[in-house]
A and B are shown apart, each in its own frame.
Chain A
Amino acid sequence: MIEYLTSRNFIILIIKIVVIFGGVMNVVGLLSWVERKMMARVQMRPGPTRVGPFGLLQPFADLLKFVFKEDVIPTNANTLLYIAAPIVSLVPAFLSFAVVPFGPELQVTDLSVGLLFIFAVTSLGVYGIALGGWASNSKYPLMGAMRSAAQMISYELSLTLSVVGVLMIANTLSLRELVISQQGTWLSVIPRWNIFLQPVAFVVYVISGTAETNRLPFDLAESEQELVAGWHTEYSSMKFLMFMMAEYANMIAVSSVATVLFLGGWNGPMFGPPLLQMILPTVWFVIKVGAFIFFYVLLRSTIPRFRYDQLMKFGWKVLLPLSLANIVVTSFIVAIS
């Protein structure tokens, strides 16, 4: 075993894990700045400007504030579950990045069932919210947690089913193969992305992904106007920071998977010297994920919130039949051609 632990493959694996984990942590911090700045601009105000140039050091200031805040645990709260809930929420959010291909060689591991792994890990994230709300022993968190958990498991169905069309076209579950199958172009101008082959599935996936990560317009579980802060009402300082990081990491994970499945991953026109060509795929990937995040923040700034029964009706009566119909139509077309 010692030979494996000191072999070159293992050391490269450790370096990849550290790079990707560190990168995602930093992007989560940057994302909070992006969100505040963009929402502020949409609302015609400047946003954070004081801390650092353009307010870029605001996430660090927030981090310091969270670290130094007092950590309050309510008296009647179930202590073990109360402390475990943010961890149960954070770990699946970061675990999804173990299989996402950031570049031709920049992927921690390429599981043959990589896509199912991401869905498995997402479905475990429901427990963090349910336990957090229940362990707080207070009515607003419990209501928010139950609503949010019911919403997440309802939209998981259309999330998983909308992807089956892409799987039928690409014939593989591994994310690296999915990206490689989208190389090349049609008529040398339109890239061979799955969004052109499966537009309905793309729309269903984006909407379900927004609902899965509890973002507006589906965020009634943490709506500030109705429930005080939803399931993280009773949480303070580091535990609240973990919940927030989990939400941002989930958002980036959903955007990354949407990029890999529908927008061709790290594919893009290659030009320039070999050194530039080494980092160019990752640059294309980051640009595409950035476009998704831009879209998510824009969605948050502009659209009002769904009511709970409207949300459940939409998930079960509109999105689920739509994704099933997409599967049927795609299977006909794939079987014929």
Chain B
Amino acid sequence: MIPITWYLLLSAVLFLIGVLGFFLKRNIIALLLSVEIMLNAVNLTFVAFSSQQSQISGQIFVFFVLVVAAAEAAVGLALVIAMFRNRESLNVDRSNLLKW
């Protein structure tokens, strides 16, 4: 058997990689991909705990996280397309009109 700590540690590593990607990348689509990595790490945590506690609610929550991730990816990419039409560039540093 695999102790659950291994799964939690793996999930922490993946979440960390997602957070690092979110802070260090400048391409908007790469930011969205890092958010997806973070959501997947959280999914793994939920499923690991659901398997260890023998309760199905962990997996139901993963279901909802999946749905929300799909909705957010769709709207995020539509925003990216709209932004690209205005600026011709996907660098987040160029979107600084609200800066003082």
Direct contact, A vs B (beta carbon within 8 Å): no
B residues near A (Cβ < 8 Å) are none
A residues near B (Cβ < 8 Å) are none
